[in-house]
Homo-oligomer: A and B are copies of this chain.
Amino acid sequence: MAEITLGTYIFERLKQIDVKTIFGVPGDFNLALLDHIYEVEGMRWAGNANELNAAYAADGYSRVKSMAALITTFGVGELSAVNGIAGSFAEHVGLLHIVGVPAISSQEKKLLLHHTLGNGDFGVFKRVFKNVSKSANFISDINEAQDMIDSAIREAFIYQRPIYLGLPTNLVEMNVDRTRLNTPIDLKPVPNPVEAEEEALQSILELISKAAKPVILVDACASRHFCQKEVDQLIDITNFPVFVTPMGKGGVDEQKPQFGGAYVGSLSNPDITEFVEKADLVISVGALLSDFNTGSFSYSHSKNIVEFHSDYTQIRSAVFQGVQMKALLQKLLPLVGKASKHITAQVPPKIAPPIEKAANEDLTQDWLWSNISKFLRAGDVVITETGTSAFGIVQSRFPTHVSGISQVLWGSIGFSVGATLGAVCATEELDPNRRVILFVGDGSLQLTVQEISTMARWNLKPYLFILNNDGYTIERLIHGEKASYNDIQPWDHLKLLDTFKAKNSESTRVSTIGELTKLFKDQDFNKPDKIRVIEVMLETMDAPISLVKQAEITAKTNAA
């Protein structure tokens, strides 16, 4: 039998599905495993500054490449990552989380090792992760190891959720069957139940054939579960107006004439709210209907709704368990043209043109988000933070082939900095000309700032726009506008890249419309050839109007 160590096997498998950067922090229970990364050509160990940041980075990487891997060490390392993993679980992000755990012999003897709770319980952290992962298991038998690894990779990918796998230190160097690598891991989803799928399909076609004013509403899971192409075709074939949710931002081509903007229930632009809510059929793809994604549940659209989900389909009140959207959409596409051809083309609401202001005026949030598209171009990945930027970006109109990353449901501040590292590692592997552009507030930045150092380490070239509004503006809007708990220690942001010894860097501060406009037009600035910090000075209480309204509702809900 041709042999390979289990350690190397894992990284060969990850490489086969194009996972080429591994995120995490070394710790004594995973060091032996890390040796094997270097045995697989083209693999990179990111070496994050801490584990939470590493988990965020894996999440960001997976949002670009559909899969990621994170390695932590037992107890201390893995627990630092749990918030990041929970975010990936909530928001359908596929990743494999390998935890280096003590040798099986140490576990059996219940040794009072460092990184344990001192009570001999080696299963406690795995139990923690069962709550926030698709599954959580330890490998305990070398003969089961390959099955477990292949299955973990497969499930993380097809379900787009984190999978936890504990790997005892003593198994890493053991040999397993190398020939297994000749057969790629089967990444095909389980097939849809035939009859249920057919019934759902006919119901959908019937609803469409009766509709006069249908709309398509695209949410996060459409792209998370690989349906961007199908959605694109659905729009082209039917010519139905299409809207995105905040989490769906970047999931469709916003330059299409059918694009009508972002629907956020009652917090949308009034003409969008009216248009969507007067539709007589809503075709919803990949919905994740959280408060911040729906204007606090203020949807009020037709009851004629078709919901395409990753693991079921719902048509009005009828639930078709196990009928997954991608396969169903593929069945629908050849038939939907005929069913929809009676429908007169509708003109979606007009997208407002960019706001114009004088060059010497101070920068404002509404100008920024309305004009940001002038800077964006095809291939860009735009990352926004839970704060003014995640709400503001919804007001922009993306050029074709611009992706958006934002953690709207889980909403962990600081996420965006780690996610930026992951995204820029991923785009570098796919196409180094693609740009990764972060918008993060000065408050959120403080939680995860050291991951900028990892970007410097790898000579990556993101744009880091730091929105300096002197503290937690999103929280001031919800509660405690003047309260000092919403203040932060001010930092000298222009010193960050030097402190982290970034070799090829540029740090700029902009305060006026003119200064930022000049940067956006500057050809050198537009080239992603160095790491850049751009500190954007903004008024403390300046915020996108949708955030102001959302904050009022949230404050009321919390007090109710």
| Contact surface of A with B, Cβ cutoff 8 Å | 25-29, 31-32, 34-35, 37-38, 45, 47, 49-50, 52, 75-76, 79-80, 82-83, 86-87, 89-91, 102-103, 105-106, 111-118, 124-125, 127-128, 131-132, 169-170, 173, 288-292, 297, 386, 408-414, 446-450, 453-454, 456-457, 472, 475, 478-480, 483-492, 495-496, 498-501, 554-555, 557-560
Complex Cα spacing A37 to B27, Å: 39
Max chain B C-beta neighbours (<10 A), residue from A87, A115, A410: A115
Given contacts A117-B86, A501-B492, whether A102 and B486 have CB atoms under 8 Å apart is no
Q: Is the CB of B483 within 8 A of A492?
A: no
Note all chain B residues with C-beta closer than 8 A to A128: 82, 128, 131-132
Q: Is the CB of B478 within 8 A of A31?
A: yes
25 contacts between A and B (CB under 8 A): A26-B480, A31-B475, A31-B480, A35-B479, A47-B487, A50-B448, A76-B83, A76-B410, A79-B83, A79-B132, A80-B412, A82-B83, A82-B128, A89-B117, A90-B116, A102-B558, A106-B557, A111-B291, A114-B291, A114-B410, A449-B449, A450-B450, A457-B488, A492-B498, A492-B499
Given contacts A127-B131, A290-B112, A560-B106, whether A500 and B489 have CB atoms under 8 Å apart is yes
Expressed in whole angstroms, the minimum distance between the Cβ of A239 and any Cβ of chain B is: 32
Note all chain B residues with C-beta closer than 8 A to A25: 447
Q: Is the CB of B34 within 8 A of A480?
A: yes
Expressed in whole angstroms, the minimum distance between the Cβ of A138 and any Cβ of chain B is: 15
Which residue of B26, B90, B290, B478 contacts A475 across the interface (Cβ within 8 Å)? B26
Q: Is the CB of B124 within 8 A of A411?
A: no
Please give the count of copies of this chain that the complex contains.
Answer: 2
Which residue of B114, B292, B450 contacts A408 across the interface (Cβ within 8 Å)? B114
Expressed in whole angstroms, the minimum distance between the Cβ of A94 and any Cβ of chain B is: 16
Q: Is the CB of A559 within 8 A of B446?
A: no
Complex Cα spacing A357 to B492, Å: 40
Expressed in whole angstroms, the minimum distance between the Cβ of A373 and any Cβ of chain B is: 26
Complex Cα spacing A75 to B492, Å: 31
Complex Cα spacing A289 to B27, Å: 21
Complex Cα spacing A540 to B297, Å: 57
Expressed in whole angstroms, the minimum distance between the Cβ of A131 and any Cβ of chain B is: 5
5 more CB-based (< 8 A) A-B contacts, given A26-B485, A118-B409, A491-B500? A32-B558, A35-B483, A76-B86, A103-B559, A495-B498
Expressed in whole angstroms, the minimum distance between the Cβ of A456 and any Cβ of chain B is: 6
Q: Is the CB of A52 within 8 A of B49?
A: no
Expressed in whole angstroms, the minimum distance between the Cβ of A442 and any Cβ of chain B is: 11
Q: Is the CB of B103 within 8 A of A557?
A: yes
Complex Cα spacing A478 to B35, Å: 13
Complex Cα spacing A447 to B491, Å: 18
Note all chain B residues with C-beta closer than 8 A to A457: 488-489
Q: Is the CB of B496 within 8 A of A501?
A: no
Given contacts A82-B128, A447-B49, whether A410 and B558 have CB atoms under 8 Å apart is no
Which residue on chain B has the smallest CB distance to residue A118? B90
Q: Is the CB of A560 within 8 A of B491?
A: no
Complex Cα spacing A453 to B487, Å: 13
Complex Cα spacing A15 to B91, Å: 40
Complex Cα spacing A489 to B451, Å: 10
Expressed in whole angstroms, the minimum distance between the Cβ of A47 and any Cβ of chain B is: 6
Complex Cα spacing A75 to B50, Å: 19
Which residue on chain B has the smallest CB distance to residue A105? B560
Max chain B C-beta neighbours (<10 A), residue from A102, A111, A117, A457: A117
Which residue of B86, B102, B292, B492 contacts A114 across the interface (Cβ within 8 Å)? B292
Complex Cα spacing A37 to B106, Å: 46
Which residue on chain B has the smallest CB distance to residue A297? B111
Q: Is the CB of A170 within 8 A of B559?
A: yes
Which residue on chain B has the smallest CB distance to residue A555? B28
Which residue of B173, B411, B450, B475 contacts A115 across the interface (Cβ within 8 Å)? B411
Given contacts A28-B478, A111-B291, A450-B447, whether A117 and B105 have CB atoms under 8 Å apart is no
